[in-house]
Amino acid sequence: AQSVTQLGSHVSVSEGALVLLRCNYSSSVPPYLFWYVQYPNQGLQLLLKYTSAATLVKGINGFEAEFKKSETSFHLTKPSAHMSDAAEYFCAVTYTGTASKLTFGTGTRLQVTL
């Protein structure tokens, strides 16, 4: 069965510091991976997605993620955190044959401090 694990339910960084949110996947077939962001009282917004075309994926708002098959990871990074990045971040996985059925990780709440 496919799944994703997000290490760290809360991550706190200073404004301007590197953001690193971890996601590891478990899948017996090639996965397709997504990062979504959810701001308070809002729906989910897609940040980026891995579709097997390129292992380094660039998304919106300066975020990027690298697919590493050897480490079964798809960590989300941003070189310099901004206060507006404070939100909940979800990693999700799907694969061919699941009719776009996403399996979400448990989420990581990012706090950005001055």
Binding site residues, another protein, CB under 8 A: 32, 36, 41-46, 49, 51, 90, 94-102, 104-107
State the minimum distance, in angstroms, from the CB of residue 104 to another protein.
Answer: 4
Q: How far apart are CA 51 and CA 84, in angstroms?
A: 27
Amino acid symbol at 4: V
State the minimum distance, in angstroms, from the CB of residue 108 to another protein.
Answer: 11
Q: Which is nearer to another protein, 81 or 105 (CB)?
A: 105
Q: Which is nearer to another protein, 14 or 111 (CB)?
A: 111
Amino acid symbol at 42: Q
Q: Which is nearer to another protein, 53 or 114 (CB)?
A: 53
State the minimum distance, in angstroms, from the CB of residue 87 to another protein.
Answer: 13
Tokens of 15: 């404004």
Q: How distant, in Å, are the alpha carbons of 3, 22, 45, 64, 65 from that of 56?
A: 21, 15, 20, 7, 6
